[in-house]
Structure 1
C-alpha cells in the first residue's frame, strides 16, 4: 500500500499522529472513519496523487498508530475539536497553509469541526456518509436507534471495553472483509483493534460525540455559525443514510450555502469499494469542475 508515500509521526503537543503523505500539489487531507485507519484510503490516495494533488492520510487520534492523551471524565481529550487541532498541527508540520479536506464516517465529524473552527485553513470540504451529529440526534427515533445502536452501546462506561477486548477480531471481523478491503489494509485494521488502548480511544470518540461534540454543535447552531466554503456530500447507495433521511444534501444546506454532491454506488466503506468513483468525485470537486 501507499507506494511512493512517506510515513512519519507528527508530535502535536497533545498527541502523536501517524501520517502518510506524498506529492507537491494542492494538499488533500483524507480523514478515515471507525474502526478504520488511514489505510482505508490506500486505493483512493494514489488516484488523487495522479491527478496532481499532494495527499495526506493521518490516523486520527487514538486510532491505528496514532496516540493521544489519556481519556477524561468529560471526554474532551477525544472531542472532534481536539482531534481537529491535531490535523491543524499536522498541516503546519507539513507546511500546508491551506487544505482541501475530506472525511468519511467519524472522520467527517472531525473535518466538519475543523472547517467550522478554521475556515482560513479549509478551502473546500467533502463529507462522506454523514450528517452532523446534532442532526442525527435531533431525528433519533426507533429506526435510528435500531440501525445505529452502537452509538449508544459505545457510550456506556466500561462495558464496551470488556465486550470488545474479549475478542476484538470477532467483534470487527463481520464488517471487515479482506477481499473488499485489501489484505494489507485488513491486516493493519486487525493489528490496531487488538490493542486495548486503541479500542478505548475509539470508544471515547463516540462518548465525546454524544456529550461535548453535541454541545459544541448546538452552540454553533445557536450562534448562527455556518460553513463558509463549498461543501460536497457523497453517500453510499447501499448504506442506510438515505433510507433514514432522504437526500443528505438537504440537511447540510442548513449548515452551508454552497452544497453539491451525489450518491456513490457502494457499501458504507466507499473508499475501499468504489475508489475510482470516489477519487473522480473528489478530484472534480477539489478542482472546482462543475
Structure 2
C-alpha cells in the first residue's frame, strides 16, 4: 500500500494543524493500521518518534535544521494524534512497544527505507529501543531522549514511583483513568506539561494547540491509557526477559536527558550501559521535553551523532 495524501475530513476533530512547514503529510500502512506522518528533507532516513501526551509536533523546532541533512519521517504513534487507535483486546498487545515498533518497520518500508536512523522521546523512545532490540538489521543508530528502560523504571523504588505516579494511574483497568481525566482533561494535560518542563518554559502555541486538541478526542485518551497498560502488562515483562538473557542493543546509541528532570537523578548512563554495546550520552538544558526545551542542543547532538 503506497503512501497517500489524506483528506481534510480526517482532521475534522482536531483544531491543531499537526503540520510543520516544508513537510508533506501522508497516510502510511502500519502493522494492521494506518499511520499519519509528516515526511520531508534530504539525505539518509531518520525516523523521529514522539511521546506522551504529545504528537509529532514535538519535532517542530528541530525538524527544519535536521531536514537539511536527513529525510525525516515523523509519525503520530499508534493511538495518538491522527494515526489509527484500534480498540484493545484485553491482552494489551495492541499497544505494546513491540507492536508499535512493527508499525514503524511497516511505515518505513512503505517509504522504501529498510535501514534507517531512529530517535525517540518519552514513549517514542521506548518504541525506538524496542525496535532496535527486535529488528537490529533495520536500525543504523539509535537515540533515546529522557527515559530509562521500562523495567528499570518499575524497579527503581518509592521515589520514582512518586515522581512517575501517572504510570500506575494510567495503567489501571478501563475506564477508570479515562473517566477521571475526561472530567477535566485540559487541566490534566496542562498540569503534566507544567510538571515535566523546566521553570518558566512555554511551549510553542502551534504545538500546544495540537496536543490539547488531540487529547480532547476520547479515543486518544483511551488509547494513551492502553499504551501505559501495555507498559505494565507487556513491555515490562519483555524488558525483564531481555535483561535475564543479557540481550543488548547492537546499534550505536546516544542518550540525551534534561539536566533538570527526573531522569537526570537516576544516573542514566550507568543504567543504559547495561543495555547497549556502544553508547554515548549528554545532558541538555531544561527538564523532560528535550526537543522543545533545548532545540539547538538537541539538533546539534543528533546531527553530530547521526552524521559521524
Shorter-chain TM-score bucket reads over 0.9
1:5-40 deviations in whole A, cap 9, x for unaligned?
A: 010111224211110010231111111110010001
**Partners of 1:179 and 1:235 in 2: how far apart?**
16
Contact 1:104 1:128 in 2 (8 A): yes
Question: What pairs with 1:113-124 in structure 2 (closer than 5 Å)?
Answer: 113-124=130-141
Task: Give 1:95 deviation, angstroms.
Answer: 0.9
Specify the alignment match of 1:55 in structure 2.
72
Q: Identify which of 39, 43, 52 aligns with 1:34.
A: 52
Q: Identify which of 271, 275, 280 aligns with 1:255.
A: 275
**Partners of 1:106 and 1:99 in 2: how far apart?**
19
Task: Give 1:112 deviation, angstroms.
Answer: 0.6
Specify the alignment match of 1:81 in structure 2.
98
**SS of equivalent to 1:280:** helix
Specify the alignment match of 2:176 in structure 1.
159
Structure 1 length normalisation: TM-score? Answer: 0.94
Contact 1:14 1:68 in 2 (8 A): no
Task: Give 1:129 deviation, angstroms.
Answer: 0.5
CA RMSD of superposed structures (Å): 1.5
Specify the alignment match of 2:232 in structure 1.
210
**SS of equivalent to 1:126:** strand
**Partners of 1:137 and 1:3 in 2: how far apart?**
39
Gap runs ≥5 in structure 1: none
Contact 1:16 1:68 in 2 (8 A): no
Gap runs ≥5 in structure 2: 1-18, 195-199
Number of residues of Structure 1 aligned to a counterpart in Structure 2: 284
**SS of equivalent to 1:181:** coil
Task: Give 1:179 deviation, angstroms.
Answer: 7.2
Specify the alignment match of 1:72 in structure 2.
89
Q: Does 2:28 align with 1:10?
A: yes
Task: Give 1:182 deviation, angstroms.
Answer: 1.1
Specify the alignment match of 2:249 in structure 1.
227
